[in-house]
Amino acid sequence: MASPAFEEIAETFEFLEDWEERYRHVIDLGKAMDPLEDAVKVPATKVDGCASQVWILPQIEGEGRAAVFRFRGDSDAMIVRGLIAVLHALYDGLSVDEVLKVDAGGELARLGLNDHLSSQRSNGLRAMVERIRLLAAEKASS
């Protein structure tokens, strides 16, 4: 179900032995991602429920359930930027129908990052996944 981009990350993670190596890789993924322009860092794209600032800019092409879900994201925290890059690999380019079928918890567990999904964690990964699913659901029912 997961995209080739995500599979590539998952394969890399298999070789990373401890949290330090995994964090290092997540941070690098974030660094490699294009930052969002300030003009689109507006309330409509901001994701609440994150301790740091997070923005998700949807760029959905097409209509209905077959519409292609694309997005860009950014954060002022480096680990969170990296987590957004992971979500980008997981979701970007899927149809909105497929987006809704992704088991984010299961996929992130493969990277050992699923503890970030707990609602008590304030880094907002859960809030970001919820925003992505909401955007896809809105499109699917349009």
Partner 1 sequence: MTYDIDKIRADFPILSRQVNGKPLVYLDNGASAQKPQVVIDAVTQAYSMEYANVHRGLHYLSNLATEKYEGVRGTIARFLGVKNEEEIVFTSGATEGINLVAYGWAMPRMQAGDEIVLTIAEHHANIVPWHFLRERQGVVLKWVEVDAKGDLDPQAMIDAIGPKTKLVAMSHMSNVLGTVFDVKPVIEAAHAKGVPVLLDGSQAAVHMPLDLDDLGADFYAVTGHKLYGPSGSGAIHIKAERMSEMRPFIGGGDMIREVHRDRVIYNDPPMMFEAGTPGIVQQIGLGVALDYMMGVGMQNIAAHEARLRDYASTRLAGLNWLNVQGTSARKGAIFSFTLEGAAHAHDISTVLDKKGVAVRAGQHCTGPLMAHLGLNATCRASFGMYNTEGEVDVLIEALELCHELFA
Instruction: Give me the least distance between CB of 122 and partner 1, in Å please.
Output: 8
Cβ neighbors of 9 (< 8 A, separation 6 or more) are 29, 86, 89, 111
* Positions marked active-site: 50
Instruction: Give me the least distance between CB of 81 and partner 1, in Å please.
Output: 9
For residue 54, report the phi and psi dihedrals to the nearest 5 degrees: -135, 135
Q: Which residues bind partner 1 (CB under 8 A)?
A: 19-20, 23-24, 27, 51-52, 75-80, 122-123
Residue among 80, 129, 122 at smallest CA distance from 105: 129
* Partners of 71 in beta bridges: 58
Instruction: Give me the least distance between CB of 95 and partner 1, in Å please.
Output: 33
